[in-house]
């Protein structure tokens, strides 16, 4: 019989609230014969404040035993910027080799966009997750003096670029439009740019059905607001992916509905699924957070584990729920979760 052994990291701020709803919907959508086991991990600001620890080797060993990880949000103003980001979020992505950071953007009916003309937005960004300027390479000399020099080194390897580019081509191939856009800045960052461009062009030969193009990251931000319908699948570097997926979320309904997966395609380590929004401490504990992004992240998780039918049911439930929101009074976090749980069960 099938089973899912899930590590759950509610985390900080609204993380707790949205993860509860994500689990509610997960339980509701799974068939009786699938055994769901969850284990909570209390990572984040509280743990750091109490122990000084962010993510230990023992933590990684414990997480490793699971089929997947569901994360709410990590981050609190009481912790200096960078401590939890580098010490927890990025440490986990690197330790579990989450090299495919998957971020779909779809403007669903009834959802508000800041853009005029209700564009047909339906694309997915495949963001590299283990290289680029995110490696922590670099350093500081003469810190705090007028002669301080700080460097950040973007590291790009043929191995790392090829595997994510190949993953993106496969995803493009599987979609109706079969189009893949490489986003980089190869006219300025020429070392990394040539590597990305050459590998992209090489792998393209293996996917003759996929239409390809290339756009500089600065120009990509223009297209994302003037012609987002042009995109189908985008593959890009870790930092560019970070930037354009926030913009992509903003134009396709906001971070309240933006889901993401930090994926290890080989399955050697568990993949992690999380809403793109952060911990939003300003609205935490008030039942105001929209759990939709977390619920959609649960759908990505199910799809990754092979539960395609269940993932599709969640997507449909969210689409239906969003379509009926216009003109209705705002619901609480758990009311939205309840409504989605009813829909996926029905």
Ligand X SMILES: CC(C)[C@H](C(=O)O)[C@@H](O)C(=O)O
List, by residue number, the catalytic residues.
Answer: 134, 185, 218, 242, 246
How many Å is the Cα radius of gyration of the chain?
20
Q: CB nearer to ligand X: give 170 or 247.
A: 247
128 in contact with ligand X (CB under 6 A): no
205 in contact with a second copy (CB under 8 A): no
Q: What is the pattern of x (binds a second copy, CB under 8 A) and - over residues 71-100? A: ----------xx--xx---x----------
With H, G, I as helix, E, B as strand and everything else as coil, classify residue 62.
Answer: helix
287 marked among binding-site residues: yes
* Partner touching 56 among a second copy, ligand X, none, CB below 5 to 8 Å by kind: none
Interface with ligand X in residues 231-250 (CB under 6 A): 242
Tokens of 229: 């319908």
243 in contact with a second copy (CB under 8 A): yes
- Report how far apart, in Å, the C-alpha atoms of 254 and of each of 97, 160, 173, 261, 303 are: 28, 30, 27, 17, 23
Distance between CA atoms of residues 169 and 212, nearest Å: 9
61 marked among binding-site residues: no
188 in contact with a second copy (CB under 8 A): yes
Those residues whose C-beta lies under 8 Å from the C-beta of residue 273, and which sit 6 or more positions away, are 68, 69, 70, 71, 259, 260, 261, 262, 297, 298, 300, 301, 304
**Minimum CB–partner distance for residue 99 and a second copy (Å):** 16
**Minimum CB–partner distance for residue 276 and ligand X (Å):** 6
112 in contact with ligand X (CB under 6 A): no
**Could you tell me if 14 and 328 are in contact, meaning their C-beta atoms sit under 8 angstroms apart?**
no
Q: CB nearer to ligand X: give 185 or 303.
A: 185
End-to-end CA distance of the chain: 23
Which residue stretch of 22-30, 85-93, 136-144, 283-291 sits at the interface with ligand X (rule: CB under 6 A)?
A: 85-93
**Minimum CB–partner distance for residue 109 and ligand X (Å):** 26
Those residues whose C-beta lies under 8 Å from the C-beta of residue 220, and which sit 6 or more positions away, are 181, 183, 234, 240, 244
Q: What is the pattern of x (binds a second copy, CB under 8 A) and - over residues 134-153? A: x-xxxxx-x-xxxxxxxxxx
- Report how far apart, in Å, the C-alpha atoms of 260 and of each of 102, 159, 263 are: 6, 23, 9
Distance between CA atoms of residues 218 and 211, nearest Å: 21
Distance between CA atoms of residues 58 and 50, nearest Å: 17
Interface with a second copy by CB under 8 A: which residues? 81-82, 85-86, 90, 114-116, 133-134, 136-140, 142, 144-159, 162, 185-195, 197-198, 217-219, 221-222, 224-226, 239, 242-247, 249-251, 254-255
Interface with ligand X by CB under 6 A: which residues? 85, 89-90, 187-188, 218, 242
Residues placed in the known binding site for substrate: 93, 103, 127, 218
């Amino acid at each position: 019989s099938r089973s899912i052994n899930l590590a759950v990291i509610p985390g900080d701020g609204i993380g707790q609230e949205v993860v509860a709803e994500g689990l509610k919907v997960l339980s509701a959508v799974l068939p009786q014969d699938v055994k769901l086991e969850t284990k909570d991990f209390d990572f984040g600001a509280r743990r750091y404040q109490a122990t000084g620890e962010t993510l230990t080797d023992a933590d990684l060993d414990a997480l490793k035993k699971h089929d997947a990880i569901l994360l709410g949000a990590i981050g609190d103003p009481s912790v200096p910027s960078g401590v939890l980001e580098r010490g927890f979020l990025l440490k986990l992505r690197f330790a579990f080799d989450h090299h495919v950071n998957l971020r779909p953007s779809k403007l669903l009916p009834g959802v508000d966009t800041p853009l005029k003309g209700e564009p047909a937005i339906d694309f997915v960004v495949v963001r590299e997750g283990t290289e680029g300027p995110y490696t922590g390479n670099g350093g500081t000399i003469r810190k705090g003096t007028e002669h301080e020099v700080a460097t950040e080194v973007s590291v790009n390897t043929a191995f790392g670029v090829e595997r994510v580019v190949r993953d993106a081509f496969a995803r493009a191939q599987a979609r109706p439009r079969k189009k893949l856009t490489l986003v980089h800045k190869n006219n300025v960052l020429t070392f990394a740019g040539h590597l990305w461009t050459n590998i992209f062009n090489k792998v393209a030969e293996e996917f003759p059905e996929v239409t390809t193009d290339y756009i500089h990251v600065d120009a990509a931000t223009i297209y994302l607001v003037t012609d987002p319908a042009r995109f189908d699948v985008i593959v890009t570097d870790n930092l560019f992916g970070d930037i354009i997926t926030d913009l992509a979320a903003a134009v396709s309904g906001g971070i309240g509905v933006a889901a993401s997966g930090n994926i290890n395609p080989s399955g050697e380590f568990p993949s992690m699924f999380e809403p793109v929004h952060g911990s939003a401490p300003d609205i935490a504990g008030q039942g105001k957070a929209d759990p939709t992004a977390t619920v959609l992240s649960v759908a990505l998780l199910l799809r990754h584990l092979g539960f395609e039918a269940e993932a599709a049911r969640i997507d449909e439930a969210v689409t239906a729920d969003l379509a009926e929101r216009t003109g209705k009074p705002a619901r609480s976090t758990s009311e939205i979760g309840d409504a989605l749980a009813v829909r996926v069960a029905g």
